[in-house]
Amino acid sequence: MQRTRSFPSRRGILMGAAALTAVPYALLPDARAAAMPQTVDHPGAAWHPASRANYTPSNRPRAHPVRYVVIHVAQTTYSGTLSVFRNRRTKVSAHYVVRSSDGKVAQCVRESDIAWHAGNWDYNTRSIGIEHEGWVDRPKYFTDAMYERSARLTAAICARYDIPRDRAHIIGHHEVPGSDHTDPGRHWDWRRYLRLVNSH
């Protein structure tokens, strides 16, 4: 049966997105909340809030103990990841995003809240999710700066919540029960990463 409803072309979607950038920021939904200054949980991180539709407000660690750090690779760019988290239709977020070129850290969800990153509700409630710019099959994205800044972030999270700095508690997305993801992938250097985490 032929569909009678017409769908916008890719060109139309991109043109619409370009037009949206001309709309005054104050008129966008949630603009006031997003523009409000926030105190980040990790010193040096930049606040880039995810849409409120993409995480669950909570009061961790009182509501849920934080026991894991989950390492992700975004399969897109740093700016693309932030854009995905701002889009209320995606239903996904992580607490942090780390940029490849210089290790810049963005915080998108407060650590006290539950980001939707692991694909497993129990693990979401008990973990902090860190996305890394790049693709699992492109190891050039895993730069010295990214490893260093991400390891420093993970070490600080472990110190805040008394999480052991080992592979039983610092895990890849692929190790979350029920996950169908492969990240961070075979090119992620776990030995190097744990060594850096434990050096901070």
pLDDT digits (tens, 9 = 90+) for 104-161: 999 999 999 999 999 999 999 999 999 999 999 999 999 999 999 999 999 999 999 9
Instruction: Please tell me the distance from the alpha carbon of residue 16 to that of residue 20, in angstroms, as a whole number.
Output: 6
Find, among 107, 123, 152, the residue nearest to 65 by Cα: 123
pTM here is 0.82
* Per-residue pLDDT tens digits of the chain, which is 200 residues long: 333 333 333 233 233 333 333 333 333 444 444 444 568 999 999 999 999 999 999 999 999 999 999 999 999 999 999 999 999 999 999 999 999 999 999 999 999 999 999 999 999 999 999 999 999 999 999 999 999 999 999 999 999 999 999 999 999 999 999 999 999 999 999 999 999 999 99
Mean pLDDT of the chain: 86
Counting Cα atoms < 13 Å in the Cβ hemisphere of 116 gives 17
Instruction: Please tell me the distance from the alpha carbon of residue 50 to that of residue 88, in angstroms, as a whole number.
Output: 8
Q: Which residues contact 72 (CB under 8 A, 6 or more apart)?
A: 94, 117, 129, 130, 131, 132, 172, 173, 181, 183, 184
**Residue 158: exposed, middle, or buried by beta-carbon count in 10 A (0-12, 13-18, 19+)?**
buried
First and final CA of the chain: distance in angstroms? 62
Q: Which residues contact 82 (CB under 8 A, 6 or more apart)?
A: 48, 97, 106, 108
Cα angle: 192, vertex 196, 199; to 5 degrees: 140
